[in-house]
Structure 1
Amino acid sequence: MANEIKIAVIGLDTSHSIEFTKRMQAPDCPADMKVDGLRVMTCLAFVTPFQNEEGINTRIKQLEAWGVKITSTLEETVKGADAVMIEIDDPSLHLEYFKKCSELGLPIYLDKPMADTYVNAKIIYDISKKNNIKICSMSSLRFPPALNEAINKVPKPDFSYFFGPLGIPPAGSSIVWYGVHTFEMLVRAMGRGALSVHTKKHSNGVVIVVEYPDKKVAIADLIERCFQYGGTLRDKGGSIAPFVVDKKIIYTDLVRELFGFLKGGPVPVPFEDTLEVMALLDTAEKSLQSGKTEKVPNNI
């Protein structure tokens, strides 16, 4: 325990605060899900539109059972911590709490999505670069083995299709809040440099077409109440790689990636990739509202 990385968690309105802590220190966590070397010491808990007081209190009891101290101020939460995990389901609060944590000199994991809008995400990006802050932000759909295998088979896809859920949030954009998972896979496979986005609403969700230079195209198919992930990668040479994600291990894979980062290793996801994800999400929401094809901002 003396050599463990001590983590301060900010926020308890997301199940991730429970799921990630479980994999670090729950006594009954299955061995194949456990990630040793990390320990959540404190959690700053507060109500947001994404979780009411009753739900927060239920989660508090679980964290306390795992040895986590529940706090009421940021100062108390981060005292003695080696790293910070911002686990706030409400993306409109991400910029505010990132700014509060940015002066601590600690590594920061900012849970998905990066922010509620591209404008706020760009502010986070600019502050991080200006002050050389060690930060990463990613969805748990960044690292599934099935996606890794598909990319190994088709490393430079010209055409791709991804499917995932369109969650309905209590506030803000559905595309930004839950489409982030599908777009994390899309950017991982297609890379950066998207030119335009067109969103089409249908009875069960939205279909989003992303266009790239050289006539490359990616499609994101977001369906309400359908919590499955997968897709297909293809190239002009005829290679094709369909994949379906096993959701049982995605949280464990993410925590493993975080362990290396939080103990001093490289950032597992370039922050430029995270900003591209946010640019696509924000542009997809704009296209949904306008009914037109919208250009993707590219001012990194």
Structure 2
Amino acid sequence: MKSSRRSFIKKSSVLGAAASLSTLPFSLLANSKADNIKIGIIGLDTSHSPAFTKLFNGENPSPELAGFKVTAAYPYGSRDIKSSMDRIPDYIAQVKELGVEITDSIEAMLEKVDVVLLETNDGKPRLAQARKVIQAKKPFFIDKPVAASFADTQLIYQEAAAAGVPIFSASSLRYMSNAQAVRYDGKIGKVLGCDAFSPATIEAGHPDLFWYGIHGVEILFTVMGPGCESVSRVNTPDADVVIGKWKDGRIGTFRGTRTGKHEYGGTAFGSDGNLVLGKYEGYEPLAVKIAEFFKSGVSPVDSAETLEIYAFMEAADESKRRGGEAVAIGSVK
């Protein structure tokens, strides 16, 4: 990785946190139907879109989600991934029942909302879509995958930081209770290592782990924290096994399953014992963090950590191309 890229990964979180709250296009005190913070969605080709809409627009949302409403959506979205395209008509119907207006362009949607959920399932159009959101100065949550390459992911973060536009991305698996307790509450003392797993189905046009492996990789980084230096990858008939070496000598692994039952989880190893990380807990914990982000303008996940996650996955692809050779994350471009 060039020195400028390394510098950006280190400094990007500082730039994001420094964005003035006065630039947010709504009142932080919104608490009635008349002054709801209006959310727009880009992409109705993923189950995440109706799931978030149901949480924010339900008759009795949790207190943490009160004061928000999804009001407009642009459906597209992937236009060349059939499994995504086929979902769009049903998801349009679902969100319309919840009071969401469907627009015929991203630009029209942006005029109607305060903040954005960029949900397009396909990473390939993400950079172009994110640029429209950034130009409109709308804070946005960008779902997985941020883009279809590390280079595009980095560009999105660079351009958002340069424009002073708050950005946040995370898998919902980051907010598994035990993973959070290990990282922030010292539940098992000093973290010595972690083995994480998730499905890792592959979609053409994306580095292998970007499409679904991101979930397990995010579990791994939630527990271990940033600081991975090199990645090596071993492929088996049923799974991808990726071994990360952290700068302090710790080892963390990700096992991405391509066949069999799809499950999410892992085991964290600590100085005070080990802990099974548990099961997926749904979208609401992430939705709560998104709501907090929209109010504060500060991402709950350091942008440098998010960029390292995507560099880790890109390095895993490079290791695959090199027959399992260790690849330095700093060499990823």
Q: Same fold (TM over 0.5)?
A: yes
CA distance in 2, matches of 1:286, 1:170: 16
- Correspondences of 1:114-263 after superposition (within 5 Å): 114-151=146-183, 152-154=186-188, 156-169=190-203, 171-225=205-259, 226-235=261-270, 237=271, 239-245=273-279, 247=280, 249-263=281-295
Report what 2:47 is aligned to. 15
Which stretches in structure 2 are left out of the alignment for 5+ residues? 1-32
SS in 2 for 1:244: coil
1:2-151 aligned at under 5 Å gives the runs 2-27=34-59, 35-46=65-76, 47-50=78-81, 51=83, 53-151=85-183
- Seen in structure 2, the aligned counterparts of structure 1 residues 209 and 14 have a Cα distance that, compared at 3 Å, is same
Structure 1 unaligned residues grouped into runs of 5+:
none
Letter in 2 for 1:296: I
Taking structure 2 as the reference length, the TM-score comes to 0.82
| Per-residue deviation, 1:103 | 1.2
Provide closer, same or farther for how the CA distance between residues 35 and 221 of structure 1 changes in structure 2, counting only shifts above 3 A.
Answer: same
Distance, in Å, in 2 between the alignment partners of 1:2 and 1:142 is 33
After TM superposition, the structure 1 stretch with the greater mean CA deviation from structure 2, 147-156 or 189-198, is 147-156
Following the alignment from structure 2 to structure 1, what is the Cα–Cα distance between the partners of residues 298 and 238? Answer: 40
Corresponding position of 2:313: 281
- The alpha-carbon deviation at position 162 of structure 1 amounts to 0.6
Equivalent-residue separation in structure 2 for 1:217 and 1:70 (angstroms): 47
Q: Any idea what SS the aligned residue of 2:228 has?
A: coil
Quote the offset at 1:91 in angstroms.
0.9
Separation (CA, whole Å) in 2 of partners of 1:148 and 1:139: 13
Could you tell me the TM-score, scaled by structure 1's length?
Answer: 0.91
Task: Give the drift of 1:55.
Answer: 2.3
Deviations 1:206-234 (A, max 9, x none): 11000012321000011124321111222
1:237-274 Cα distance to aligned partner (Å, 9 max, x none)? 453222212x2x33000101111111235321111111
Mapped contact 1:102–1:133 kept (Cα < 8 A): yes
Percent identity over the alignment is 27
CA distance in structure 2 between the partners assigned to 1:76 and 1:96 by the alignment: 16
- Bigger shift: residues 181-190 or 151-160: 151-160
Report Cα offsets for 1:150-186 as digits up to 9, x if no partner: 3332353222111111123354333111111111111
1:113–1:138: 8 Å Cα contact kept in structure 2?
no
User: What number of residue pairs does the alignment pair up?
Assistant: 295
Q: Is the 8 A contact 1:13 1:48 kept in 2?
A: no
Which amino acid in structure 2 is aligned with residue 218 of structure 1?
G
Residue 96 to residue 265, structure 1, CA distance change in 2 (3 Å): closer
Is contact 1:85–1:109 with CA below 8 Å preserved after alignment?
A: yes
Q: Look up the match of 1:293.
A: 326
Could you say if the C-alpha distance between residues 170 and 59 of structure 1 is closer, same or farther in structure 2, counting changes exceeding 3 Å? Answer: farther
| Cα distance change, pair 96–55 in 1 and its aligned pair in 2 (3 A) | same
1:266 corresponds to which of 298, 311, 318: 298
Deviations 1:66-123 (A, max 9, x none): 1111111122111131101111111111111111111111111111122211111111
Which letter does structure 2 place at the counterpart of 1:147? A
Distance in 1 (CA, whole Å) between partners of 2:54 and 2:158 is 33
Q: Describe the SS at the equivalent of 2:135.
A: coil
The one-letter amino acid paired with 2:67 is G
The 1:45–1:155 alpha-carbon spacing in structure 2 relative to 1, beyond 3 Å, is farther
When residues 52 and 175 of structure 1 are mapped into structure 2, their CA distance, relative to the original with a 3 A threshold, is closer
Query: What is the RMSD computed on CA atoms of the aligned residues?
Result: 2.2
Classify the secondary structure of the residue corresponding to 2:268.
strand
